[in-house]
Structure 1
Amino acid sequence: MSKYHEMPGHLIRRAHQASTALFHEHMSREGIDITPFQFAAMSAIKLNPGVDQATVAAWVACDRATMGGVVDRLVEKKFVERTVSPKDRRARVLTLTDSGAEVLSHIEKVAARVQDEITHGLNAEERETLVHLLHKVSQNSPK
C-alpha cells in the first residue's frame, strides 16, 4: 500500500468528503437546501447580528468574493437580510431574517446529529482529541 494513504493531507481530504456528504444527506432528508458553507455563514451572523460581509468571510475562512456569492444565495432564500451599514456606506451588514433564524435552529439540531455520525466510533476523549488536533492543524493555513 502506498504511503499516500497515510498522509495527513489525504486523510483530511477524505474526512472532509465524508463529512460534507453526510451533511448534504441529512439536510436533504430534512428538506433543507443549505450547504455547509451557508450554515457556517448563518451561524456567524447569528452570533453577531449586524456584522459586515468581510468579517463573516474572515470568520469562516474564505475570500470576500466567495462570501458575496454565499450571502447572495442566503438573501435569495430569504434567510439573511443585507443592508447598507449605517457606519460605512460602502459596507454591507447582515442579519438573519425570522425565517432564517427558524431554519438555522433546525439546521443546528441536524448538524449536531451529523457531528455524532462523523465521529461515530470515537469515545468522548478521542473526539475531544480529534477536535483539538484539527484546531492545531487549521492554524497552519496561510494567513
Structure 2
Amino acid sequence: MTQIYDLPGHQIRRLHQISVAVFAAQTRAAGFDLTPVQYAALASLRDHPGIDQATLAGLIAYDRVTIGGVVSRLEARGYLQRKVRDGDRRARSLTLTERGESLLATIQPAVRATQDQLMAGLAPDERDAFMRLLAKLTEAGNHLSRAPFEGGEA
C-alpha cells in the first residue's frame, strides 16, 4: 500500500500550505496584510500596467471568475484602479496606484525573506536544481490546470 508521503501530489500540497503560511507570517510580521495571490496580482500589474482582468488572471494562473474578487479587494484598499477602456466600454484596464507602488517597494524584504525561509532546507546547488525541476513540472502540466498560465514564458 502506498503511503501518502510517497506521493508527489501530497508533498506539493504540503509545500503549498507551508509556502502560504510562511508568506503570511513574514508579511504580517513586517506590518502587511496581503495574500500571495494579491501580491502576484500587484507585481504583475507593476510589470504590465493597463492590462485587463482576464489578462491578469492568465499571467498569474488564477481563475478568471475569482480574479474579480481579488481585484475588488485591492481596489478597495487603494492599491490599484480600474478605468474604462476608450475603445471598449465593457473592458477595464488595471493600473497600480501610488499606494500600490509603495506597497510593492516596501514589502520586498518580507517577500525575499519568505523565499529564503522556504528554501532554507536546501544547499545553494540544490535550490537551483529544485527551481529548474519545479519550473519543468509546472510548464509540462500547465495545460492540465483549471487556470493555466497564459503569458509566454513563466
Task: Report TM bin, short chain.
Answer: over 0.9
Aligned length: 143
The whole-number CA distance in structure 2 between the counterparts of 1:91 and 1:126 is 44
The whole-number CA distance in structure 1 between the counterparts of 2:2 and 2:120 is 26
- Percent of pairs with identical residues: 41
**Root-mean-square deviation (CA), in Å?**
1.4
The whole-number CA distance in structure 1 between the counterparts of 2:44 and 2:85 is 17
Structure 1's consecutive aligned runs of 4 or more residues displaced over 3 angstroms after TM superposition are none
Instruction: Give the aligned partner of residue 69 of structure 2.
Output: 69
Instruction: Give the aligned partner of residue 89 of structure 1.
Output: 89
Report the TM-score, using the length of structure 1 for normalisation. 0.94
Structure that is richer in helix per residue: 1
Deviation at 1:88, TM superposition (A): 2.1
Deviation at 1:121, TM superposition (A): 2.4
Report the TM-score, using the length of structure 2 for normalisation. 0.87
The gaps in structure 1 that reach 5 residues or longer are none
1:38-57 aligned within 5 A: 38-57=38-57
The whole-number CA distance in structure 2 between the counterparts of 1:94 and 1:109 is 25
Q: Larger deviation: 67-76 or 127-136?
A: 127-136
Q: Which amino acid aligns with 2:39?
A: F
Q: Deviations over 1:5-41 (max 9, x none)?
A: 0211011011111110000011111121100000000
Structure with larger RCO (C-alpha < 8 A, sep 6+): 2
1:120-135 aligned within 5 A: 120-135=120-135
Deviation at 1:92, TM superposition (A): 1.0
Instruction: Give the aligned partner of residue 34 of structure 1.
Output: 34
The whole-number CA distance in structure 2 between the counterparts of 1:63 and 1:14 is 21
